[in-house]
Structure 1
Amino acid sequence: MSKKLWLTLLMAFMLVLGLAACGGTEDASDNKDAGKTEDTTSGNDDSKEEETPAQDTLVFGRGGDSVSLDPITATDGESFKVTKNVFNTLVDYGEQDVTIRPSLATDWQVSEDGLVYTLTLREGVKFHDGTDFNADAVVYNFNRWGNGTKDQFYYYGSAFGGFGDEEKHIIKEVKALDAKTVQFTLKKPQAPFMQNLAMSPFAIASPAAIEKYGDKFNENPVGTGPFKFVEWKRNERVVIEKNPDYFVEGLPKLNKVIFVSIPDNSARVNALLSGEVHLADGLNNSDSNQLTGNLQAINRPSMNVGYLGLTVTRGPLKDKLVRQALNHAVDKQGIIDAFYGGQAIPAINPMPPSIKGYNDQVADYPYDLDKAKSLLAEAGYPDGFEMELWAMPVPRPYMPDGQKVAEVLQASFAQIGVKANIVSFEWATYLEKARAGEADSFMLGWTGDNGDADNFLNTLLGGSNIDSNNYTRYDNAEVNELLAKAQSSNDAAEREDLYKQAQVIIKDEAPWIPLVHSTPLLGASANLTGFYPHPTGSDKLETVEFK
């Protein structure tokens, strides 16, 4: 055979192989019958169509990537969206509410003085690495958090204090009484203690995996949850797969979940329409008219607030009158009409009206440009001033289009002489820099973690949470005292009154421009069932399936 002919045949053979390869699927496991040929060994044509395998992979389109997959180091909803399905907390919330239910703990008793909590743990549970879940693992996790630093474990500081300040550290001791019993002893009562234990950041991780991966544990999460971590390609996708040893029989229903990051809302909607994703959140409410036919619209129970933070330690924003002026310059209803499709209400206080302790007697700053100019002149800025306005780079339930809302705010402030220069950053950098107090004004929001007023007012505006979740660096001694009293009181009526008093002061001092409380919109394939969006924004996907 000549060399030329041999090369020609080889190229033809390679072309055939290439065409065959192109006929496959991206994931062969989703098409197990691909490549099968009809059995022609028999003279009779008795071949039968094989039943199509049930769809067992969910592609979840979301607006941004996770920041960390170690739940205790995360503060963002995109991270908790994943970790909620890889880890379990000691106790959990109800299907679509914040009532406390068993999880890794099956029972608990509280002493009469509210200082000792004794939890009975579920037996026979293993972490995804095969090691045992037991009381020692719980103690290990809490010791890790309590002996860390505020810039490591933001949520621990917000909920329990600590980090070298023993006076503010609420937890005195966490002790394993035996393998299946763990006891928490507090220094003072904490009304939302059980609510806090159910929060996503306080999920229990494998001690062995933490020791193995060290600082890289946030990229190699190991929990006890319904799904096991597979891979994370940053700004692209996170893949988790079924945990066959999950302690709830028959769950999860799905074999795999792929979280894909699609920051642009239109692209995310188009991916849903084309079937590239089966579930998408952070949608503009105006997109609901597209969610018909083979799609369904889903509303998340609302428990959020979107706001513009005014960092009280920076330039003209140090002056309360300036902050009040900026509040008067914002037409909240106009923003809602333009971007929320009517599925939001103007925010007055830093927490939604559904939370106990909300003060409905607090009046909002009316949209009044003349009043705003008058306050600026009184503060010594008759010609206005210049500042930065940070626009959110990712859609969130309370802020579906941060850039466009920022442009409206910019135009509003220009009417009173304030030049607001819009800037933004990648999401993780945005959060880090805003937390450090580097922004003049910044767009952000909060979806409640546990349904308690403490989780809004103390977490977001308590002085002890500066460098944590208090991004405006607001620190008022009277407010701090009211919040501390409310946290340690077991009298529900007293707590509500204290929170109402705090809201009056916060409104006057205006560290925020509260913007909206939204009803977040999600879209899904019409045949997707068993999805119950949670008001905390952290959704358990173990019951999801396709019909």
Structure 2
Amino acid sequence: IPDASARLLALEVGEVLGIEYPNPADFDRIRGNKDLTLLSEPGMNVGYMAMNSGYGYMDENQNGIRDPNEGLVKTPGYYEPLTKKKVRQAINHSIDKKSIVDNLYMGTASVAKNGMPPFMLGYNDDVEDYAYDPARAKQLLEEAGYPDGFEVTLHVMPVSRPYMFDPPKIGEAIQAYLAAVGIKVNFYQVDWGTYLQETEEGKHQMCLLGWTGDNGDPDNFMNVLYGPNATSIGTAGNYGFYTDEKAQELLSAALATFDTNERAKYYREAQVMIHESANWVYLAHSNQNAVFHKSVKGYRLHPTSRKFFYPVRID
């Protein structure tokens, strides 16, 4: 059931016994229903808007690794304004992330500034986030050659995810913020399977997505989202198509060493470079939320969002 309100209604009338990704605006209603139990725990995720900076590689050798003979080529979603770093930085300055977290996530998330959760090894808290500053955004757009702004298309997820319970509402907020600095955002929506295929192929200009960690290791964020093999057109996980070789060398070095302090150092250095590139607007690290009928006993949320139904029972 794609819509959060429809999911909750289905639970309330007994069509289902549990739902994921409830709308935080409905939490008081849920807490007031003696037949429902709300579960909420910190998540291991990041939700973001990625900007396709225009270049990836074709995995001609079909080995999942970027080989020396595989140079960078334009992605299908190549769009001139987004190839300019100042434009991407302007977009970062245009969006009031705290307002989005406060008013849409409603206290169930924290504002993100890096691509991995703050509790992970190597997280760089010294990175200074892009402040909400529309005047600075307009200045950067003018310096980049777009004093009157431009039009851009945003892929908007059709489903809720652990890091983003209502993508259309997030998209509407972003649309309004960017309109205020002269950037007209057009929405593009398709079914979830097509959405994933098109973003992995780099057909998007901008897209809403995110990542939930599989195992608690920083590599599962840093190399999945930014590594040298993640910009393959067709199987990309690096949806910003970030291709800085120095940063990617640091990520490869972090993966190769067993020295924990060295790993942390490499990740911290890479985050500075990734932040400077501004290919992503990091939005939030979200709590995991789920609601069950009171008859469901023993279900526990897992940081990776995996589902374990033992020893769940229905009384």
- Pick from 282, 290, 296 the counterpart of residue 528 of structure 1: 296
Match of 2:136 among 368, 371, 378: 371
Q: What are the within-5 Å matches in structure 2 for residues 148-547 of structure 1? A: 262-291=1-30, 292-313=33-54, 314=78, 315-466=80-231, 467-547=235-315
State the secondary structure of the residue aligned to 1:373. Answer: helix
Identical counterparts, % of pairs: 44
Query: How far is the alpha carbon of 1:524 from its aligned partner?
Result: 0.4
Letter matched to residue 296 of structure 1: T
Deviation at 1:290, TM superposition (A): 2.3
Q: Give secondary structure in 1 for the equivalent of 2:275.
A: helix
Instruction: Provide the C-alpha distance between the structure 1 equivalents of 2:173 and 2:105, rounded to a whole number of angstroms.
Output: 14
Contact kept, 8 Å, 1:301 with 1:533, in 2: the verdict is no
Is contact 2:113-2:129 (8 Å) kept?
Answer: yes
In 1, distance between residues paired with 2:134 and 2:219?
33
Q: Which has the higher contact order (CA 8 A, sep 6+)?
A: 2
1:442 Cα offset (Å): 0.3
Separation (CA, whole Å) in 2 of partners of 1:342 and 1:516: 11
Q: Is the 8 A contact 2:288 2:301 kept in 1?
A: no
> 2: distance between equivalents of 1:454 and 1:511?
19
Runs of 4+ off more than 6 Å? none
TM superposition score normalised by structure 2: 0.89
Amino acid at match of 1:304: N
CA contact (8 A) 1:284 1:521 kept: no
Do the aligned residues in 1 keep the contact of 2:53 with 2:84 (CA within 8 Å)? yes
- CA–CA distance in structure 2, aligned partners of residues 321 and 341 of structure 1: 31
Instruction: Give the conservation status (yes or no) of the 8 Å contact 2:150–2:184.
Output: yes
Give the letter for the 1:537 counterpart: S
Cα deviation for residue 537 of structure 1 reads: 0.9
Asked if the contact 2:43/2:303 (under 8 Å) is kept, the reply is yes
User: CA offsets, 1:471-499, max 9 Å, x none?
Assistant: 22211101111001100111111111110
Q: Which amino acid aligns with 1:461?
A: Y
In the TM superposition, residue 295 of structure 1 has moved relative to its aligned partner by: 0.7
Counterpart residue identity of residue 417, structure 1? G
**What residue ranges of structure 2 are gaps of 5+ in the alignment?**
55-77
Kept in 1, the 8 Å contact 2:36–2:294? The answer is: yes
Matched AA of 2:47? G
Q: CA deviation at 1:338?
A: 1.8
SS in 2 for 1:465: coil
Equivalent pair of 1:358/1:499 in contact (CA under 8 Å): yes
Alpha carbons 2:151, 2:185 under 8 Å: kept: yes
**Is the CA contact 1:359–1:503 (under 8 Å) kept in the aligned structure 2?**
yes
Displacement after TM superposition at 1:468 (Å): 2.8
> For residues 460 and 269 of structure 1, what CA distance do their matches in structure 2 show?
32
**In 2, Cα distance between the equivalents of 1:354 and 1:280?**
27
Structure 1 unaligned spans of 5+? 1-261
SS at match of 1:482: helix
The Cα shift of 1:421 comes to 0.6
Aligned amino acid, residue 529 of structure 1: K
Partner deviation per Cα, 1:62-100 (whole Å, 9 max, x = no partner): xxxxxxxxxxxxxxxxxxxxxxxxxxxxxxxxxxxxxxx
On the 8 A contact 1:303/1:352 being kept in 2, the answer is: yes
Aligned-partner Cα distance in 2 for 1:301–1:544: 21
Partners in 2 of 1:273 and 1:454 — Cα distance? 40
Shift of 1:289: 1.6
State TM-score, norm by structure 1.
0.52
DSSP-derived class of the 2:262 partner? helix
Asked whether the equivalents of residues 22 and 291 of structure 2 are also in contact (C-alpha less than 8 Å), the reply is yes
- State whether residues 317 and 323 of structure 1, in contact with CA within 8 Å, keep that contact through their aligned partners in structure 2: yes
Residue identity matched to 1:506: I
